[in-house]
Chain A
């Protein structure tokens, strides 16, 4: 026997849940259907369904505070009664009007109770939200609304003033739930049944994608052989796997550190312990960067969590840009790559420190006036992971915190990982092109220090080499390019490259990323050029 599909309509008080259900049930598509409506909140409007045959069960907030087994038994009895009266058939659909201030986990627990778990199947969650109050509620409900938005399939917005407001709200909602559909309230009401019921299967999508990839490979392989491009594709695949094997462990460390900062440290930890002065903050950022033995992929998630915990932007930026250049792994890899020559290591570290401090200072002197994090990032509770420690459902004890830490890290790893994959693919393609076209040897004859510096910085950005291994490539360039240009390659590459740009895009606003990219590039060029040209080093 097939499980009864369950549809949930949720939202805060006065959101318009009952109005939505009334309009939906009175739609011709629901005509003659046998429905069970479970109301966990008695709204101002009454249920006035005409088209379908609706059975109504209501539960007060006090009943919700009781163990969920009792409510499940009551629903189970209603389902059994209906079966008896209708010769063994079930309700066609169950609709639930859920009280927005009660954590959604309670409803999930209820549907997993023994009387219901084999009878019901949660199909879709609809969130009804008032456009004017959405931002206020998100910031004022301690993660409760964010957690609900994270599990919603469709968000229906009411009272949307104009297209601009709709676009802004859609962007903010998609930060919390990237796959959610955002629709206008009345437009949503007119949706056909088929569209509401449509549910893409993850398994089918995955199998379909795998089939298409195999098909594409099968079709392309003879063509590649024909045009002699199979070597280039193999090279690209090898470079891609190399970057992945190198970058993912570091990204994982970064995500674990970021989750530890986010979940395990008290909200006011950095406010109490981090130096209050600009210089003190920068020194602390440099010291922290030195003791983090990872590549640039790890510093970005940590940077995001530091910003969320209230670390001043200049200090956090100093940490972000200095860490991939001055940590022990990078120091040792540079030392080995340049045949145990400490002078190159010292030049790289010193220039890295100067550039990162100057980048931080530019943001201190000309503060960023607009929001830098996407969506509701300034609230320490909210991110796109869907794992929240809400006031209504607090996490208790170290075991609970540890569980939240692992769940948060896992969600963040898979959320950020896809950006790393895209960046890596682009970098692998560019590296393949670079090596097959003799990119570096062609550049070697270009002459002036400034021009070669710019070209090598561009190459470092495009190739996205891991900061723990870029020294090997840089060593091979020393015979072709001026020493200053190689140093620019070694300093700029770890601070900002194509894959970092995509990782940043997962959490930060475009305007901030553009400013950061231009600032790092400008400062790096001026500092390295100044040292190697004007000072005559």
Chain B
């Protein structure tokens, strides 16, 4: 599909939500999240990363 117009707000949404999601996934996959919270939080953080990825995908 041809790109019509670049919407700056959508780009910022993509960068902010996507960046935050990638950071969370990095913390989870590297195990670094255990320095801050207990393992019980793992599914909740995965859920948050998934929602943030969905939000960033919606701004495309």
Q: Which residues of A contact B (CB under 8 A)?
A: 112, 117, 202, 238, 241-242, 245-246, 248-250, 252-253, 256, 329, 333, 406, 410, 468-469
Contacts and interface: CB of A to CB of B under 8 A. Distances in A.
Interface residues of B, number: 21
A238 B47 CA distance: 22
Contacts of B41: 245-246, 249
Contacts of A202: 8, 12
B48 A249 contact: yes
Given A112-B5, A256-B51, A249 B45 contact: yes
A112 B12 CA distance: 19
Contact of A242 (B4, B12, B36, B51): B36
B45 A245 contact: yes
Contacts of A469: 37-38
Nearest to A468: B40
A333 B51 contact: no
A245 B55 contact: no
A212 B48 CA distance: 30
Nearest to A240: B36
B36 A241 contact: yes
B5 A406 contact: no
Q: Lowest 7 A-B CB distances belong to which pairs?
A: A249-B44, A242-B36, A249-B48, A245-B37, A245-B36, A241-B36, A246-B37
Nearest to B5: A117
B40 A248 contact: no
Contacts of B40: 329, 333, 468
B55 A249 contact: no
A297 B9 CA distance: 27
Contact of B4 (A117, A241, A248, A250): A117
Contacts of A468: 40
Nearest to A407: B58
Contacts of A256: 51
B48 A252 contact: yes
Nearest to A256: B51
Nearest to A118: B5
Question: A-side binding surface: helix, strand, loop or mixed?
Answer: helix
B51 A252 contact: yes
Nearest to B36: A242
Nearest to A406: B58
A114 B44 CA distance: 44
Nearest to B59: A410
A2 to B, nearest CB: 16
A410 B13 CA distance: 10
Interface in B16-54: 27, 33, 35-38, 40-41, 44-45, 47-48, 51, 54
A238 B36 CA distance: 7
23 contacts: A117-B4, A117-B5, A202-B8, A238-B35, A245-B33, A245-B36, A245-B41, A245-B45, A246-B37, A246-B41, A249-B41, A249-B44, A249-B45, A252-B47, A252-B48, A252-B51, A253-B44, A253-B47, A329-B40, A406-B54, A410-B13, A410-B55, A468-B40
Nearest to A202: B12
A238 B12 CA distance: 27
A340 to B, nearest CB: 16
A242 B32 CA distance: 11
A101 B55 CA distance: 31
A406 B44 contact: no
Nearest to B45: A249
A15 B26 CA distance: 53
Nearest to A293: B44
Nearest to B48: A249
Given A117-B4, A242-B36, A252-B51, 8 more contacts: A112-B4, A245-B33, A246-B37, A250-B44, A252-B47, A252-B48, A253-B47, A406-B54
Contacts of B4: 112, 117
Contacts of B35: 238
A307 to B, nearest CB: 25
Contacts of A112: 4-5
Nearest to A250: B44
Contacts of B12: 202
A406 B36 CA distance: 29
Given A117-B4, A468-B40, A248 B48 contact: yes
A241 B38 CA distance: 13
Nearest to B24: A245
B57 to A, nearest CB: 11
B2 to A, nearest CB: 11
Contacts of A410: 13, 55
A256 B12 CA distance: 21
A312 B36 CA distance: 39
Contacts of B51: 252, 256
A469 B37 CA distance: 9
Nearest to A255: B51
A468 B40 CA distance: 9
A408 B23 CA distance: 24
A252 B20 CA distance: 13
A351 B5 CA distance: 58
B56 to A, nearest CB: 10
Nearest to B43: A249
A217 B52 CA distance: 29
Most chain B CB atoms below 10 A, which of A245, A333, A468: A245
